[in-house]
Structures are given as C-alpha cells and as structure tokens.
Amino acid sequence: MNEDGLMTASVALSTLCTILYIGLGFLPRPSRPAAIWSLGFIGFMLATYVAVAADVVGSLSLRAVSSGLMLGMIGVIWVGLRVQRTHRSGSWIPVLAFLVAAPSLLWLASTTDAYLTMVRVTFAAAGVFALLVVTELVRLGRLVRDEILPLAFICAAYVVLGVISLVQEVLRLFAGTPEASQLESTRELNTLGSLLFVVAAATTLLLMTRQSATPAEGAGAGSFPVVARDRLSRAEAAGDRWWSVIVIRLDDPEVLREASSTNAFDAIARRFAAVVRASLPAEADLDRRGSTEIVALLPRPDGVVRQVITRVLADVASMESESQLAVRMSASVGWASVDEVGYDLDVLIAVAKDAATSAAAEGGDRWERVVEAPPVA
C-alpha cells in the first residue's frame, strides 16, 4: 500500500476508533482516565485530518506538524493509564513538552537536510512513551492480562522499531547516504505504526473501560453517593447512629484470574456480586466498584451488622462448591460505623477499604472493624 492509501486508511480508522471509544467507552462509563483517552483519540484523529490536508496542498511543513502530533498522542494514552492505576493526577509535563517540541522541531526541519534525522529522533523519543505505556499496563496487574495484550504488543514493537530507526539513522549519517533514498519508506513506516497503534489502543482501552467501571447495582452508576450522602445527612440530623459502611472484597482475585480464563473469571465476578447482593438486607444501598468489590451502606445496629457480615462471608465461601477451580473462594470485609468514624461518606468508605485490606492481609475470609475515628487532616 502506498503512502496515500495509508493516510486514507489512517483517517478512516482513527475516526472509527474515536467514535467507538467515546460511544461505547467514555459516554456509558465516564471517568477521568476515559476522558484523557478520549482526548488522545480525538487528537490523533485531528492529526490525520491535518496530514491529509497537508498532502492536498502539498505542504511539507504541515505534514511534519501532523506527524509530531500523532506521536505525541502516545504520551496522552500513557497519562490516562497512570491515572487509571494510581487514581491521582497524571504526569502531564513531559507529555505537553513533547506535544510542543515534536511538531515544532519537525516543522523547523521540514525544509532542511536534517528532516529525516529529526523524524527518526522524534520517533525514537515517542518510543520512550510507548515503553512507559507497556510499564503501566504490566503494573495494572494480572486481572487485565488479556485486555492489555493488543496495546502492550504494539507498544513493545514500537519501542524496538524506534531503536532500530535510530541506529539506522546513525549508520546513514556515517555513510553519508542521501536522505531522499530513505525518507519515503520512513514516512510509510511511521504512518503504518501509528495506524496499528490507534487500533490496538482502541481495543485495549475500550475493554478496560467497560470492565473497570462497572455500573452500580440498583438505580444506576452515580446514584449511590447521592443517595448515601442524603441518608447519612438525615441520620446525623436525627441523631441516628445505627448506620455502617461495609466494603466486601473477593479474596485473591489475581490468583483466581491466573487459574481461569477470562470468561470463567467474569462468571466468578458476576456470581460474587449476585451472592453478596442476595446476602445483604433489602434496605442496604449497594455500589459495585470494579468486578471484585462492593460497598454497602447498612441502616442496622452493630449486632445485626455483625450477623450480616458473617452471613456474607459464609455465602461467598459456599461459592467454592459451585466452581470447577481448585482455588478456595472467600471474601474480606471492612466495617466502619458512624458511631466510630462520623457521617462523612468518603471517610467511611476510605477507612472501610483500609480495614478490608487489613483483613485480606491476615489471610482473608474474615472481617475487620474500624474501632476509632481517623485523625483529622
């Protein structure tokens, strides 16, 4: 396929991938990482439009700018992955610096003999972001091992090609070979690499977005915080202290994931959610967070909450007999009551999560209660 054909394919596929991700990923499952990835797809799509416009008007400078913008979108994808993993603001400074530097340097070099050198240098620099993408994908854990394969494979190949391209340019400069003999093939390689990247990114990120942002049980995603805060506010005004937040987590999800296929693990996660939901009182407000964690707000005295938690643990443990895996099923529960922690929903959930983590660290299949209020920041 010639370069014009590749650019046409890039425009079509970048537009399709952008529409698919925003329509099937971001809009039904909005989140900060999904918003960042949407910006990356939109930016890549616009860059392909600029490239086509540059070919129409015959502008090498405009084409250089579009190439720099395409390469910079790899960094945007990396920022979104970092936010997904750490739940904190991403490292935008190096990405923004590259988004400014790459198009600018390519534009300045587009009418000089150093253009091929600058193209290969920026391609190799983008390979650094591709390596960071692979690192973040691996650090996300084994629960998404199948989902990360398309993007991880393409980014790994991107890194290898970046190194090869840089070595090739060094050898060309030493040999004194004219850039015209290699410029066209380098452009086609860059375009093909960008084309494969956007398809792989759309596949991986769409799967991750739809899996990691499971909507809440009941009235729909986003309703739990609103309802729970309203209930706690009214309970505080009435002096009602019989309210608790519990966090229920399936123990050893990574072990279960390793011991099963994607479909089998998804079935376990669905069964876990169904068992927990059936074990909790009808008045409990539930929020399913991811595939293996459920947050519940319970309007019950301490003695009843203790019985509820015991029943949940027993029911989750009974899942073992229904599974074909040679892995024991169990859960860990963190419990925070307003009598000990206060009526702030975010604080209740945070300390209950910590308690669930402690229970899991002790071997799982148990619960741990927060027995004193957290220090005021």
Mean pLDDT score of the chain, rounded to an integer?
86
Distance CA 119, CA 122 (A): 5
The per-residue pLDDT for 373 is: 62
**Is residue 208 domain-shared with residue 227, that is, in the same domain?**
no
The per-residue pLDDT for 304 is: 93
Distance CA 159, CA 134 (A): 10
Question: Residue 359 corresponds to which tokens in the numbers above?
Answer: 């229970």
Instruction: Assign 295 to helix, strand or coil.
Output: strand
Burial label for 5, CB within 10 Å (0-12, 13-18, 19+), is exposed
Looking at the structure of the chain, the number of domains it has is: 2
Query: Locate tokens 């390979």: which residue?
Result: 127
CATH code for position 333? 3.30.70.270
| pLDDT tens per residue, range 274-309 | 999 999 998 899 998 878 899 999 999 999 999 999
**Is residue 76 domain-shared with residue 176, that is, in the same domain?**
yes
For 300-315, the DSSP string reads --HHHHHHHHHHHHHH
Structural domain of 53:
3-212
**Is residue 179 domain-shared with residue 298, that is, in the same domain?**
no
What is the 8-class DSSP label of residue 53?
Answer: H
**Is residue 52 domain-shared with residue 76, that is, in the same domain?**
yes
Residue 374 covered by a domain: no
User: Which of 158, 187, 212 delimits the end of a domain?
Assistant: 212
**Is residue 293 domain-shared with residue 185, that is, in the same domain?**
no
Distance CA 278, CA 245 (A): 17
Tell me how far CA of residue 187 lies from CA of 31, 124, 129, 190, 296, in angstroms. 35, 14, 20, 5, 55
Ranges of residues in the chain with a pLDDT under 50 are: 213-221, 321, 377
Phi and psi, residue 370, nearest 5°: -75, 120
User: Which of 153, 180, 212 delimits the end of a domain?
Assistant: 212
Burial label for 294, CB within 10 Å (0-12, 13-18, 19+), is buried
The pTM is what?
Answer: 0.68
| pLDDT tens per residue, range 48-105 | 999 989 988 888 899 899 999 999 999 999 999 999 887 777 689 999 999 999 999 9
Q: Judge contact between 103 and 73, C-beta under 8 A.
A: no
